[in-house]
C-alpha cells in the first residue's frame, strides 16, 4: 500500500504573483526535515506538498511527527494512495483504516474531488464507497451527521488518497520566507515563545544570549543551549551567539544610578543585537517583552530601550498575558526547561526600586559616564558561537 504524507498549505494559497517563492521555501524546508528520517520525494501540487517515501524502510511515523512542526502547513495527513476507481478506493479504505473501523460504531465517507475531470461527483463517490464499506463492516453503522469515524477520500490528478482525521499543522509561513531577525534568548519562559512566534511568521532566527559569568553559571548557559535545541524542530538549524555581558553590567553598577540599571542594560542589549543583526543581514530584533509584565516593560521603558537602534524591534508577546505565554511554552515543549532554577543576566544587579517611567534625557544623562562604543565593541569581539542542530 502506498503510504504518503499530504501537507496542506495555509496562508501561502492567499499569495499572489510571489506565491511560488513561498512554496519553494516550504518545499526546501520539508526536504531538509525529511532527510533525517529517510529518502522521500517531495513536491507540490494543488496547494498541497506531497511527501512520498522512496524506500521501504522510511520511518513514516517520524516523518509524520516532523511534518507537524513545519511552519507553512495548516494540516498534515497520513494517507494511502490508490487508483481512482470506487472499487480501489473501497479496498484501500477497508485495509488502511481497518483498525479504526474496529474501534468505532459509526462512520461516514467524505469525498473531495480536486480533479474536476473525474466523471463522478463527490457525493457519488461517497455514496458508492460508503455502501461498500457498510457491507464490509456490518457492525459499524452509517451516520452522516455525527460519525465516530470520517473516511476522507481525495480525488486528485495522479491518484485517489484515503485517510482519516487530519492532524493539526504548525500554520504560519515557511521559515526563511520573510527574512531573518536576531532574537534575544534568555533562560526564561517568554523569549523562547517569542522566538517561536517570529519563526512562525516565516522569520529565520539568529538567537543571541547575554551571559554574565560568574554571576550566572555554566548551568544557566547550558539551559539556554537546550532551549535553542528544543526550538530547532520548529525554527530550523541555528547558531547561538553567546555575548559576554559581565563587564558591561559591572560598569553600569559602578557608574550609573541604581534605578536605571535595568533600562540601561537593555539599551546595551539592543545596541549589540543590532550590530549582530547587521552582520547577519537581519532586518529586525525580536524580544520577549510583554507590556506591563515587569518594571522594564512599561511603555516609557520600552521606548527608551529601543531608542539607540534603527532596526525595528518586534515584540510578539507584547499584548499577551502570562497564562497565554505559558500555554504556548507547554505546547512547543520549552516550559519545563525554562523553569529550571538557573538565573540569567537580567537578574544580576536588579535595582531595588527600578524607574518604571524613565525619560530619555534622564537615561542619557545616567549612562553618560559609560564608554558605550568601547563596551559594545569589546562584547562583540568576545562572542562565542554555538551551532544548534
* 270-297 confidence digits (pLDDT tens): 999 999 999 999 999 999 999 988 878 8
Q: Is 121 helix (H, G, I), strand (E, B) or coil?
A: coil
227-242 pLDDT tens trace: 999 999 999 999 999 9
Q: How far apart are CA 56 and CA 252, in angstroms?
A: 61
Regarding whether 195 and 320 lie in a shared domain, the answer is: yes
Average pLDDT over the chain reads 95
| 91 has pLDDT over 60 | yes
| 381 has pLDDT over 70 | yes
Regarding whether 288 and 245 lie in a shared domain, the answer is: yes
Regarding whether 3 and 51 lie in a shared domain, the answer is: yes
21 alpha-carbon distance from chain centroid:
19
What CATH code is carried by the domain that includes residue 145? 3.30.2130.30
Phi-psi region of 333 (alpha: psi -120 to 50; beta: other; left: phi over 0): left
pTM here is: 0.92
- 183 pLDDT band (50/70/90 cuts)? very high
**How many domains does the chain divide into?**
3
- Residue 179's nearest CA partner among 370, 21, 36, 304 is 21
Regarding whether 91 and 78 lie in a shared domain, the answer is: no
- 55 pLDDT band (50/70/90 cuts)? confident
Per-residue model confidence (pLDDT) at position 343: 76
Regarding whether 91 and 33 lie in a shared domain, the answer is: no
Q: How far apart are CA 323 and CA 54, in angstroms?
A: 44
Per-residue model confidence (pLDDT) at position 193: 98
100 CB-contact burial (10 Å; exposed 0-12 / middle 13-18 / buried 19+): middle
Domain extent, residue 114, equals 84-158
Which of 126, 158, 190 is the endpoint of a domain?
A: 158
Q: How far apart are CA 207 and CA 192, in angstroms?
A: 10
Cβ atoms of 156 and 115 closer than 8 Å: yes
Cβ atoms of 104 and 35 closer than 8 Å: no
Regarding whether 195 and 103 lie in a shared domain, the answer is: no
What CATH code is carried by the domain that includes residue 240? 3.40.50.620
Per-residue model confidence (pLDDT) at position 80: 96
**Per residue, what are the HEC states of 332-368?**
HCCHHHHCCCCCCHHHCCCCCCCCCCCCHHHHHHHHC
What CATH code is carried by the domain that includes residue 7? 3.30.70.1510
Give the cell for residue 387: 551551532
| 348 has pLDDT over 80 | no
Give the cell for residue 293: 509584565
Per-residue model confidence (pLDDT) at position 1: 54
Per-residue model confidence (pLDDT) at position 293: 87
Q: How far apart are CA 137 and CA 146, in angstroms?
A: 18
Regarding whether 380 and 307 lie in a shared domain, the answer is: yes
- 56 pLDDT band (50/70/90 cuts)? confident
Distances (CA, A) of 298 to 228, 264, 304, 320, 367: 27, 14, 10, 14, 19
Q: How far apart are CA 236 and CA 204, in angstroms?
A: 8
Which of 174, 201, 236 is the endpoint of a domain?
A: 174
Per-residue model confidence (pLDDT) at position 364: 97
Regarding whether 240 and 106 lie in a shared domain, the answer is: no
Arithmetic mean of pLDDT, 157-185: 96
Regarding whether 242 and 209 lie in a shared domain, the answer is: yes
Regarding whether 322 and 299 lie in a shared domain, the answer is: yes
Regarding whether 203 and 255 lie in a shared domain, the answer is: yes
Regarding whether 74 and 106 lie in a shared domain, the answer is: no
Give the cell for residue 111: 469525498
Which of 108, 139, 174 is the endpoint of a domain?
A: 174
Amino acid at each position: 500500500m502506498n503510504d504518503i504524507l499530504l501537507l496542506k498549505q495555509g496562508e501561502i494559497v492567499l499569495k499572489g504573483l510571489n506565491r511560488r517563492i513561498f512554496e519553494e521555501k516550504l518545499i526546501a524546508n520539508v526536504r531538509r526535515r525529511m532527510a533525517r528520517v529517510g529518502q522521500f520525494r517531495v513536491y507540490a501540487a494543488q496547494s498541497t506538498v506531497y511527501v512520498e517515501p522512496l524506500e521501504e524502510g522510511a520511518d513514516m511515523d517520524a516523518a509524520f511527527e516532523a511534518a507537524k512542526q513545519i511552519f507553512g502547513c495548516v494540516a498534515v495527513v497520513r494517507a494511502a494512495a490508490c487508483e481512482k476507481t470506487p472499487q480501489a478506493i473501497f479496498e484501500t479504505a477497508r485495509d488502511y483504516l481497518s483498525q479504526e473501523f474496529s474501534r468505532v460504531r459509526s462512520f461516514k465517507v467524505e469525498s473531495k474531488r480536486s480533479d474536476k475531470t473525474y466523471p463522478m461527483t463527490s457525493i457519488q463517490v461517497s455514496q458508492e464507497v460508503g455502501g461498500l464499506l457498510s457491507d464490509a463492516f456490518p457492525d459499524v453503522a452509517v451516520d452522516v451527521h455525527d460519525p465516530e469515524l470520517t473516511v476522507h477520500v481525495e480525488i486528485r490528478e495522479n491518484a485517489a488518497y484515503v485517510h482519516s482525521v487530519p492532524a493539526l499543522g504548525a500554520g504560519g509561513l515557511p521559515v526563511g520566507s520573510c527574512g531573518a531577525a536576531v532574537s534575544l534568548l534568555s533562560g526564561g519562559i517568554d523569549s523562547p515563545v517569542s522566538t517561536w512566534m517570529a519563526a512562525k511568521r516565516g522569520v529565520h532566527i539568529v538567537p543571541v544570549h547575554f551571559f554574565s559569568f560568574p554571576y550566572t553559571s555554566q548551568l544557566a548557559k547550558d539551559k539556554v543551549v537546550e532551549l535553542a535545541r528544543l526550538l530547532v524542530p520548529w525554527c530550523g538549524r541555528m547558531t547561538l551567539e553567546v555575548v559576554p555581558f559581565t563587564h558591561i553590567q559591572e560598569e553600569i553598577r559602578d557608574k550609573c544610578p541604581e534605578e536605571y540599571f535595568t533600562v540601561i542594560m537593555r539599551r546595551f542589549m539592543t545596541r549589540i543585537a543590532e550590530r549582530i543583526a547587521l552582520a547577519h543581514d537581519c532586518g529586525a530584533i525580536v524580544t520577549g517583552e510583554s507590556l506591563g509584565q515587569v518594571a522594564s516593560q512599561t511603555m516609557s521603558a520600552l521606548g527608551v530601550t529601543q531608542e539607540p537602534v534603527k532596526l525595528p524591534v518586534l515584540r510578539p508577546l507584547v499584548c499577551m498575558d502570562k497564562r497565554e505565554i505559558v500555554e504556548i511554552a507547554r505546547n512547543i515543549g520549552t516550559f519545563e526547561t525554562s523553569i529550571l532554577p538557573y538565573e540569567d543576566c537580567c537578574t544580576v544587579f536588579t535595582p531595588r526600586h527600578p524607574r518604571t517611567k524613565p525619560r530619555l534625557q534622564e537615561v542619557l544623562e545616567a549612562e553618560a559616564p559609560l564608554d558605550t562604543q568601547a563596551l559594545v565593541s569589546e562584547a562583540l569581539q568576545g562572542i562565542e558561537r554555538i551551532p544548534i542542530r
